[in-house]
Structure 1
Amino acid sequence: MILNSDSMKPIYIQISEWLETEILRANLKEGERIYSQYQLAEMFNINPATAAKGLNILVDETIAYKKRGLGLFVAPNAKQFILHKRRSQVLKQLINEIVLEAKHLDVKETELMDLIHQVFNEIEEDKE
């Protein structure tokens, strides 16, 4: 992953979202150690304090937990928590943006739903 310094989203949030994605993809599993702030700082060429801020988001949301002297670890049920969070927050926000844009373009609900089905099917076909 390459962090986007031009993004409106702060780097520390990009770090936390990248780690969440790593958990969703099972690259980091429940009970496994997460990268340290210094490893992340080196990986992404950022300040360790910025990396720590991203890691603290995971701790605050109970996606990760600290083991004194050992580092940060993926919490039990972290994947399920992330899935729920992204469905209820991120997906809803994206849908709101799509619906607003569709209204600006005078796209009817049925036409928008057809487009969603079409894209969904195309993605499914690409997976096969």
Structure 2
Amino acid sequence: MFDDRSPIYRQIAEQIKQAILTGDLQEEEQVMSTNQYAAFYRINPATAAKAFQELVDEGLLYKRRGIGMFVSPGARERLRSQRRERFFADVVEPMVAEARAIGIPLREVIQWLEQREDEEER
């Protein structure tokens, strides 16, 4: 379930973010409590609480006093926007730099991508 590459609380936060992105968790939907999460995954409740607090700080979850944690309105779109920016910075910009370095015109890259899109639509 968890790996050694990053802290467990970050992995929990990423799992919840992914569930929001894919629609497995909808806006205004309640998420498991930190104690439920800790029991289910057999982790320290403080670890789960740290992950949830990170998501609250990012505006992706909010707490209803006495009820629990819920997915914030607009959380999915906020995540999509963040991931879109990161995609262009981490993937597209280096790809453009590499294409230029090896002499591939950007028009050719665009044509290649459009062909792949056409093939997927078939």
For Structure 1 versus Structure 2, the TM-score category normalised by the shorter chain is: 0.7 to 0.9
1:53–1:97 CA distance, 2 compared to 1 (3 A): farther
Question: Which residue matches 1:88?
Answer: 85
Q: Which amino acid aligns with 2:10?
A: I
Structure 2 portions without partners, runs of 5+: none
**Structure 1, unaligned runs of 5 or more:** none
| Residue equivalent to 1:45 | 42
Q: Root-mean-square deviation (CA), in Å? A: 2.7
Structure 2: distance between partners of 1:43 and 1:113: 46
TM-score normalized with structure 1 length: 0.71
Paired-residue identity, %: 37
Matched, 1:77 2:80: no
Letter in 1 for 2:15: W
| Matched residue SS, 1:73 | strand
Mapping for residues 100-119 of structure 1, pairs under 5 Å: 108=104
Alpha-carbon distance in 2 for matches of 1:121, 1:45:
46
Number of positions where the alignment pairs a residue of Structure 1 with one of Structure 2: 121
